């Protein structure tokens, strides 16, 4: 059916005009219907519904009260978190090198900002939703003001004041024993802490009360000021709103003094230790960088918005993905490795090797993809693989010395050469393989060089990184390497070749059958015993490898599930068109299979992120270890565990929740579940 | 000229053409069940053969053997002078010569219509992208839906999807086209648009084997009708012969049930 644009428009308009208004229920009626069994007619239903609502509301309120009691208790020393923020996030990273972290963060923010700018935006957040948020948070705050028990009164010595069973006040004598104020000994039983009066407690929280009431007021203004229709059809853009939120958070550094606590070496005594500097506030040292970071984010976002809809947008997206792929390597290099290259060695060994493999490999790929090369190509590819295998065998028997890098390069060369038959054709296709090869070998050689270069950054502990930074790095590198490995394992397990199937199955079952923590210990303790003499695996490298291998086994099963969801007809259609197995897998099966596996894959990513807290147990100074071991052992905060543990819970939650939200968005954009 | 004379004339003319597909005693088992029992047939160049038969008679299995979607266990299949064996080179060659259209379309849902069509020409035929896209546009015009090139298969009707599937197969410039019940999954009002495309193709001189239940199409377009039952070829003949004076009882029974 052909219809003119005008026609379409009128139809749409009349559609809107005739669609019946669905008025949302007034709050009281909503509560009656959903919470107290209203509208069901029977007394039994009302009683059941009401009692369930009451019981579970009371349970929720009790949990909320206990949480508030802990957070706001005078006994909870939040200074232990506040002054240890730097320690929690970057361990003892030297302050003089902090600009490296800022530059890296800036790079990530540029990528994020541009990405957010380019993102397809939905309608945004409706006023109705904002009203719901405001009323929800407002009620929570107001409830909290009245729910929280009055504060415990604390004496000059910092301990809570106590009273006997009759409420008579007690004090501590010079030896710390409890006595009545007249000096007579206190009873040992029936003691209770002295709290401020309820009225004092409420009046001291008037600020909070005001915030709660303002939020409820905003909600009421939206609810009654806007009509029902406008409430549902007025939207605020979500991304600028979130950026504004981040801005508000950063602005706190200008008016709130977050603390400071550093690891430093005393110049005179040469003793390293934690250095409590109450006069220097983190806010003063970080508010300028944070403000710059915010400006960077905003500029990048605006840039992204500008680029949206331009002709070269698609290319730019490709560039962005490449940027995200390289960012972990670049920032890792920037943060953790001082560029202290042995230039003579680089010029004499690294550079020539890279050039030899790069140019020689490129020429080989070009030759192998020549049209009409036929069987000769396959034979040559297998020959290269055989050379690679031979170098490993030679290493095993110690026939001749060779850099590990060279052996790995041969292996990569052989594997890439096996792909060559799929790229036979005109120059464009042949060049694709040449680019793939030069890209692979360049990344590999740069990484190898970085790893082989000792770091110039000195930190007091054995590991060069710690705190939340190390959790993030282990997560990112685990995902980056375990994802391709998992996909390969899944393909191998569904392969027609029995040897691949067998190996993949054995691998997956073996790694899924061992607890992660055991694997971590195994890798930190045993692997070094098996390595050739003179070679040693750093603790962090060992645990990252353990994480990669472990995570890959699980990812493989998730991907396999996705692959099995690809219908048989898709294989048949690909075969009927004459696609090779590699082409069929790359163009048809994987794109469809991975789409289906997004939810479990993100689940696995989140699990990996949370599991990095196991690093604390194998001796890495990670986020959890900071909170559990380091802070409670500082002289100022002896035994102060709970605040920091709650704090890291919140930070872990924020990261996991963000990932989960992003995956929901991804699923929607890729149309998972729709065919 | 009587019907028989016409049949003889057609048969004589066919005899002068080259053999496109030769099947000799093709057997196929699924476990203990024998799906094809010694199927032998020769299809000439530019010939349109319609395969009829009750469901489960082995029609689909047979044409799926011709491009190795199913593997036959004994007998020979020779396509355009190349015999189907376990040699992957032969299989690749035959698959790129033989186009196939499926009952369920089997379009690639994650690719646009244009990419569905150009994928194989670019990666199997090694055509430059520009050339492949020009060909795609041309083929979409031929099947009557040039305006749908940038849509995804899920956004098209069944009839449109099947026409895209035909265009996708044609983009490989095959010498033979196999149709496996191409209209069985379509709503009645969409069947005609697909059959029209197939008729057009037949008039253009394409060698075609069509498994279908569309008797009107068989009568109008087929050069020859092959009737199969229980994995065997029961009867072969021109449409006139087949629909007016079938010889075998099983053929008569089949026709009485469907006409």
Q: How confident is the model at residue A276 (pLDDT cuts 50, 70, 90)?
A: low
Quote the pLDDT of residue B256.
Answer: 87
Q: What is the DSSP letter of A633?
A: G
Q: Which residues of A109-119 are buried (b: 16+ CB within 10 A; e: fewer)?
A: bbbbbbbbbbb
Nearest CA-CA partner of A616 in A654, A648, A659, A651:
A648
Looking at the domain assignment, is residue A441 inside a domain? Answer: yes
Q: How far is CA A118 from CA A115, A246, A302, A309, A326, in A?
A: 5, 19, 9, 9, 19
Apex CA A629: angle with CA A627 and CA A632, to 5°? 75
Helix (H) or strand (E) holding A276: strand A272-276
């569309």: which residue's tokens? B214
* Residue of B150, B169, B63, B60 whose CA lies nearest to B107: B169
**Contact call for residues A539 and A565 (beta carbons, < 8 A):** no
Residue (of B184, B7, B175, B189) closest to B104 by Cα position: B184
Question: Once rounded to an integer, what is the mean pLDDT over residues A203-221?
Answer: 92
| Res. A88 pLDDT band, cuts 50 70 90 | confident
Q: Is A296's pLDDT higher than 90?
A: yes
Residues of B within 8 A of A588 (CB-CB) are 108
Longest dimension (CA), chain B: 55
**Of the partner residues A422, A570, A587, the one whose CB lies closest to the CB of residue B119:** A587
Q: How far does A39 lie from chain B, in Å, by closest CA? A: 42
Q: A573 and B69 in contact by Cβ < 8 A?
A: no
Q: Is the pLDDT of residue A138 over 90?
A: yes
Rounded to whole angstroms, the Cα distance separating A651 from A656 reads 9
pLDDT tens for A364-383 read 988 888 887 777 888 888 88
Cβ atoms of residues B51 and B172 within 8 Å? no
Nearest CA in chain A to B172: A577
- Once rounded to an integer, what is the mean pLDDT over residues A456-467? 64
Q: Say if A418 falls within a structural domain.
A: yes
Tell me which residue in A424, A572, A592 faces B110 most closely, judged by beta carbons: A592
Contacts of A493 (CB under 8 A, 6+ apart): A500, A501, A504, A505, A508, A556, A560
Q: Say if A639 falls within a structural domain.
A: no
Question: How confident is the model at residue A15, as a pLDDT?
Answer: 45
Taking phi over 0 as left and psi of -120 to 50 as alpha, with beta for the rest, A601 belongs to: alpha
* Residue A209 neighbours by CB distance under 10 Å: 16
| CA-based nearest residue to B43, from B26, B62, B24, B20 | B20
Of A22-36, A86-100, A546-560, the poorest mean pLDDT is in A22-36
Residue with more model confidence, A121 or B222: B222
Contacts of B173 in chain A (CB under 8 A): none
From the list B67, B123, B154, the residue facing A675 with the nearest CB is B154
Distance to chain A for B124, nearest Cα, Å: 6
Q: Using a pLDDT cut of 90, give the percent of chain B over it.
A: 46
Is A422 in Cβ contact with B68 (below 8 Å)?
no
pLDDT at A272 over 70: no
Interchain proximity A572–B123, CB inside 8 Å: no
Q: How confident is the model at residue A58 (pLDDT cuts 50, 70, 90)?
A: very high
Return the DSSP state at A422: G
C-beta atoms of B106 and A573 within 8 A: yes
Spatial separation of the C-alpha atoms in residues A72 and A406, rounded to whole Å:
60
Contact B221, B248 (CB under 8 A): no
pLDDT of B135 over the 50 cut: yes
Q: Which residue has the higher pLDDT, A244 or A20?
A: A244
Tokens 């990812």, residue?
A555
Per the structure, how many domains does chain A have?
A: 1
Is the minimum CB–CB distance between A426 and chain B shorter than 8 Å? Answer: yes
Tens digits of per-residue pLDDT, B166-175? 999 999 999 9
Cα distance between residue A369 and residue A248, in whole Å: 57
The minimum CA-CA distance between B173 and chain A, rounded to whole Å, is 11
Between CA A565 and CA A570 the distance in angstroms is 11
pLDDT reported for residue A270: 60
CB contact under 8 A, B108 and A588: yes
> Of B63, B46, B79, nearest to B201 (Cα)?
B46
Cβ pair B126:A675 closer than 8 A: no
Per the DSSP assignment, residues forming a β-bridge with A264 are: A273
Flag whether pLDDT at A349 surpasses 90.
no
Rg (CA), chain A: 32
Lowest mean pLDDT: which of A407-411, A479-483, A650-654? Answer: A407-411
Query: Phi and psi (nearest 5°) for B176?
Result: -135, 140
CB contacts of B107 in chain A (<8 Å) are 573
CB contact A573 to B (< 8 Å): yes
**pLDDT at A491 exceeding the cut of 50:** yes
Q: For residue B120, which residues of chain A lie inside 8 Å, CB to CB?
A: 577-579
DSSP letter string over A65-99? HHHHHHHH-TTS-THHHHTTHHHHHHTT--GGGHH
3-state SS assignment for residue A228: helix
Tokens of A431: 């060049």
Domain-embedded: residue A289: no
Q: Kindly identify which residue of chain B lies nearest to residue A587, measuring between CA atoms.
A: B119
How much is the pTM?
0.79
Please check whether residue A572 touches B, CB under 8 A. yes
Comparing alpha-carbon positions, the chain A residue that sits nearest to B130 is A428
For chain A, give the mean pLDDT: 82
Judge whether A112 lies within some domain.
Answer: no
**pLDDT tens digits, one per residue of A612-671:** 999 888 888 888 888 888 888 877 778 888 899 999 999 999 999 988 888 887 777 776
pLDDT band at B195 (very low <50, low <70, confident <90, very high): very high
- In this prediction, residue A8 carries a pLDDT of 38
For position A457, what pLDDT does the model report? 63
Which of B123, B164, B175, B178 is the best substitution to test chain A (most A C-beta atoms within 10 A)?
B123
* Ramachandran quadrant class, A270 (left: phi over 0; alpha: psi -120 to 50; beta: rest): left
Distances (CA, A) of B164 to A584, B95, B156: 19, 19, 10
Q: Collect all residues of chain B within an 8 Å Cβ-Cβ radius of residue A573.
A: 100, 102, 106-108
Give residue A674's pLDDT. Answer: 46
Interface touch B92/A578, C-beta < 8 Å: yes
Which residue of chain A is at minimal alpha-carbon distance from B104?
A569
Question: Does position A163 have pLDDT exceeding 90, yes or no?
Answer: no
A636 DSSP assignment: G
Q: Is residue B109 classed as helix, strand or coil in its secondary structure?
A: coil
Question: Tokens 């020859």 appear where?
Answer: B224
Residue in B closest to A576 by C-alpha = B95
B chain contacts of residue A572, beta-carbon cutoff 8 Å: 69, 102, 106
Strands B48-52 and B207-211: parallel
Among chain B residues, the shortest Cα distance to A579 is held by B124
Residue count of chain A, please give it.
675
- Name the residue facing B104 among A424, A569, A578 (closest C-beta): A569
* Yes or no, beta carbons of B95 and A371 under 8 Å apart: no
> Would you call B110 and A426 a contact, using CB atoms and an 8 Å cutoff?
no
CA–CA distance, B221 with B223 (Å, rounded to integer): 7
| pLDDT value of position A2 | 39
Give me the domain span that covers residue A387. 342-448
Would A650 be classed as within a structural domain? no
Band of pLDDT at residue A10, cut at 50, 70 and 90: very low
pLDDT at residue A281, as a whole number:
58
pLDDT tens for each residue of B143-154: 999 999 999 999
* pLDDT band for position B100 (cuts 50, 70, 90): very high
Per-residue pLDDT, A577: 92
| Rg of chain B, C-alpha, whole Å | 18
Q: Report CA torsion sign: B139, B141, B146, B151.
A: negative
Task: Give the residue-averaged pLDDT of A198-224.
Answer: 90
Ranges A63-77, A156-170, A273-287, B215-229: which has the least confidence: A273-287
The 10s digit of each residue's pLDDT in A420-461 is 887 887 787 788 889 889 988 988 888 777 767 666 666 555
- Please name which of A247, A279, A243, A287 lies closest in space to residue A261, comparing C-alpha atoms: A279
Contacts with A587 from chain B: Cβ below 8 Å: 108, 119, 123
State whether residue A217 sits within 8 Å of chain B by CB: no
Residue A46: band (very low, low, confident or very high) from pLDDT cuts 50, 70, 90: confident
Q: Which residues from A are below 8 Å from B123, CB to CB?
A: 422, 429, 579, 583, 587
Q: In percent, how much of chain A has pLDDT > 90? A: 26
**A422, A578 Cβ separation under 8 angstroms:** no
Interface test with A, best of B60, B68, B79, B108 (most A CBs within 10 A): B108
B50 in Cβ contact with B218 (< 8 Å) = yes
Give the pLDDT mean for A409-413: 89
Chain A contacts of B128, Cβ < 8 Å? 426, 428
Helix (H, G, I), strand (E, B) or coil at B75: strand
Distance CA A384, CA A151 (A): 75
- A371, A576, A588: residue with CB nearest B95: A576
| Cα→Cα distances B27→A192, A436, B228, Å | 93, 45, 14
> Which residues in chain B are closer than 8 Å to A580, comparing Cβ atoms?
92
Q: Do the Cβ atoms of A456 and A97 come closer than 8 Å?
A: no
* pLDDT surpasses 50 at A401: yes
Contact state of B128 with A674 under an 8 Å Cβ cutoff: no
Q: What is the predicted pLDDT for the residue at A307? A: 84
Residue of A nearest to B93 (CA): A578
What number is the average pLDDT over the span B32-55? 90
Dig out the tokens for A341 from the structure.
């290259």
Chain B residue with the nearest C-alpha to that of A674: B154
Residue A283 pLDDT more than 80?
A: no
- According to DSSP, the residues that pair with B44 across neighbouring strands are B19
Angle (CA) A43 A46 A49, round 5°: 145
Residue A623, Cβ density class (10 Å: 0-12 exposed, 13-18 middle, ≥19 buried): buried
In the prediction, which pLDDT does A193 show? 79
A595 Cβ under 8 Å from any chain B Cβ: yes
* pLDDT given at position B51: 93
Among the partner-chain residues A429, A569, A579, the one whose CB lies closest to the CB of B126 is A429
Task: Judge whether A604 lies within some domain.
Answer: no
Q: Which residues of B touch A674 (CB under 8 A)?
A: 154
User: Which neighbouring-strand residues pair with B51?
Assistant: B211, B226
The pLDDT of residue A150 is above 80: yes
Residues A320-347 have a mean pLDDT of: 77
Chain A and chain B share a number of CB contacts under 8 A equal to 69
Strands of B2-94, DSSP E: 19-30, 33-44, 48-52, 74-79, 82-83
**Mean pLDDT, range A190-218, rounded to an integer:** 87
Report CB contact under 8 Å: B154, A674: yes
pLDDT tens for each residue of A214-246: 999 999 998 888 877 777 778 888 888 889 999
Comparing CA positions, the residue from A655, A555, A554, A664 lying closest to residue A599 is A664
A24-33, A57-66, A168-177, A427-436 — which one is most confidently predicted on average? A57-66
Does A497 score more than 50 pLDDT? yes
> Does residue A644 form part of some domain?
no
- Say whether A622 sits in a helix, a strand or coil: strand
Top pLDDT among B188 and A315 is at: B188
The span from the CA of A635 to the CA of A264, in Å, is: 15
pLDDT class for B129, splitting at 50, 70, 90? confident
Average pLDDT over residues A159-175: 77
| Alpha carbons A550 and A515: distance in angstroms, whole number | 9
Residue A426, min C-alpha distance to chain B (Å): 7
Q: What is the pLDDT of residue A336?
A: 65
Q: Are B99 and A425 within 8 A, CB to CB?
A: no
pLDDT tens string A570-616: 999 999 998 988 889 999 999 999 888 888 888 899 999 999 999 88
> In this complex, is the C-beta atom of A669 within 8 Å of any C-beta atom belonging to chain B?
no
A380-390 pLDDT, tens digit each: 888 888 988 88
Least confident of A68-77, A79-88, A527-536: A527-536
The rounded distance, in Å, linking the Cα atoms of A463 and A435 is 36
Instruction: Answer yes or no: do A595 and B120 touch at CB < 8 A.
Output: no
**pLDDT range class, residue A266, cuts 50, 70, 90:** low
Give CA–CA dist A21/A28, Å, rounded. Answer: 20
Look at the block and give the residue holding tokens 């026709």.
Answer: B255
């Amino acid at each position: 059916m052909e219809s003119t644009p005008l026609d379409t428009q009128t139809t749409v308009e009349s559609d809107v005009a005739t669609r019946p208004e669905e008025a949302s229920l007034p709050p009281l009626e909503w509560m009656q219907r959903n919470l107290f069994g209203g509208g069901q007619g029977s007394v039994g239903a009302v009683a059941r519904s009401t009692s369930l609502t009451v019981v579970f509301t009371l349970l929720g309120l009790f949990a909320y009260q206990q949480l508030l009691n802990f957070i706001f208790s005078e006994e909870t020393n939040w200074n232990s978190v506040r002054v240890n923020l730097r320690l929690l996030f970057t361990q003892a990273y030297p302050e003089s090198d902090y600009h490296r972290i800022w530059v890296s963060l800036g790079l990530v923010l540029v990528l994020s900002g541009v990405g957010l700018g380019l993102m397809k935006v939905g309608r945004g957040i409706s006023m109705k939703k904002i009203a719901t948020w405001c009323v929800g948070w407002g009620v929570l705050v107001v409830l909290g003001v009245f729910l929280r028990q009055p504060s415990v009164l604390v004496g000059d010595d910092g301990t809570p004041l106590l009273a006997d069973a009759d409420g008579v006040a007690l004090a501590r004598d010079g030896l710390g024993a409890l006595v009545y104020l007249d000096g007579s000994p206190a009873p040992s039983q029936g003691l209770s802490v002295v709290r401020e009066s309820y009225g004092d407690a409420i009046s001291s929280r008037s600020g909070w009360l005001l915030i709660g009431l303002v939020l409820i007021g905003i909600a009421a203004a939206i609810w009654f000021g806007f009509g029902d229709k406008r409430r549902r059809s007025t939207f605020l853009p979500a991304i600028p709103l979130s950026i504004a939120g981040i801005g508000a958070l950063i602005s706190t550094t200008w008016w709130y003094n977050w603390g400071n606590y550093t690891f430093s070496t005393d110049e005179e005594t040469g003793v390293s230790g934690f250095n409590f500097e109450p006069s220097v506030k983190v806010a003063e040292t970080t508010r300028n960088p944070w403000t710059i970071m915010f400006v960077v984010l905003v500029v990048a976002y605006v840039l992204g918005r500008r680029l949206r809809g331009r002709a070269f947008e698609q290319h730019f997206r490709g560039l962005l993905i490449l940027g995200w792929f390289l960012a972990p390597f670049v920032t890792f290099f920037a943060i953790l490795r001082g560029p202290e290259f042995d230039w003579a060695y680089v010029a004499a060994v690294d550079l020539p090797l890279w050039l030899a493999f790069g140019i020689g490999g490129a020429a080989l790929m070009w030759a192998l993809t020549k049209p009409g090369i036929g069987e000769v190509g396959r034979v040559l590819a297998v020959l290269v693989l055989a050379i690679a295998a031979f170098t490993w065998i030679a290493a095993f028997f110690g026939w001749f010395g060779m850099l590990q890098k060279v052996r790995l390069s041969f292996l990569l060369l052989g594997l890439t050469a096996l792909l060559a038959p799929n790229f036979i054709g005109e120059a464009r296709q042949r060049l694709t393989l040449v680019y793939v090869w030069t890209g692979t070998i360049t990344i590999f050689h740069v990484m190898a060089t970085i790893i082989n270069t000792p770091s110039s950054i000195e930190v007091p502990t054995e590991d060069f990184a710690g705190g939340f930074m190390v959790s993030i790095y282990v997560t990112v590198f685990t995902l980056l390497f375990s994802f391709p490995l998992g996909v390969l394992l899944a393909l191998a397990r569904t392969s027609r070749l029995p040897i691949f199937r067998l190996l993949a199955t054995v691998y997956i079952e073996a790694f899924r059958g061992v607890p992660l923590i055991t694997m971590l210990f195994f890798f930190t303790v045993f692997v070094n015993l098996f390595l050739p003499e003179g070679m040693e695996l750093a603790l962090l490298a060992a645990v990252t490898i353990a994480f990669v291998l472990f995570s890959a086994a699980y990812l493989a099963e998730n991907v396999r599930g996705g692959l099995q969801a690809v219908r048989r007809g898709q294989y048949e259609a690909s075969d009927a068109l004459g696609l090779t197995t590699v082409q069929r897998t790359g163009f048809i099966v994987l794109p469809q299979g991975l789409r289906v596996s997004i939810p479990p894959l993100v689940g696995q990513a989140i699990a990996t992120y949370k599991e990095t807290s196991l690093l604390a147990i194998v001796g890495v100074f990670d986020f959890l270890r900071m909170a559990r071991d380091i802070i409670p052992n500082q002289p100022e905060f002896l035994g102060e565990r709970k605040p920091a543990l709650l704090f890291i819970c919140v930070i872990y939650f924020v990261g996991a929740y963000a990932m989960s939200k992003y995956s929901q968005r991804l699923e929607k954009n890729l149309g998972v579940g729709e065919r | 000229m009587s019907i028989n004379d016409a049949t003889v004339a057609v048969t004589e003319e066919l005899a002068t053409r080259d053999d496109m597909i030769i099947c000799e005693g093709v057997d196929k088992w699924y476990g203990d069940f024998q799906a094809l029992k010694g199927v032998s047939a020769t299809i000439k160049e530019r010939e349109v053969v319609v395969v009829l038969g009750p469901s489960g008679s082995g029609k689909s299995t047979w044409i799926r053997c011709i491009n190795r979607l199913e593997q036959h266990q004994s007998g020979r299949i020779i396509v355009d002078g190349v015999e189907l064996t376990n040699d992957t080179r032969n299989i690749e060659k035959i698959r790129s010569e033989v186009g196939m259209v499926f009952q369920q379309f089997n379009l690639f849902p994650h690719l646009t219509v244009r990419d569905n069509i150009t994928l194989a020409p670019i990666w199997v035929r090694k055509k430059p992208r520009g050339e492949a896209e020009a060909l795609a546009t041309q083929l979409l015009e031929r099947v009557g839906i040039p305006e749908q090139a940038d849509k995804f298969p899920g956004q098209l009707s069944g009839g449109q999807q099947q026409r895209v599937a035909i265009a996708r197969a044609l983009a490989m410039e095959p010498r033979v086209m196999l149709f496996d019940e191409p209209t069985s999954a379509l709503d009645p009002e969409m069947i005609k648009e697909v059959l029209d495309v197939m008729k057009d193709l037949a008039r253009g001189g394409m060698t075609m084997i069509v498994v279908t239940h569309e008797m009107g199409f068989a009568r109008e377009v087929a050069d020859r009708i092959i009737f199969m039952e229980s994995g065997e070829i029961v009867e072969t003949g021109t449409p006139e012969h087949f629909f007016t004076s079938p010889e075998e009882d099983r053929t008569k029974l089949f026709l009485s049930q469907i006409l």
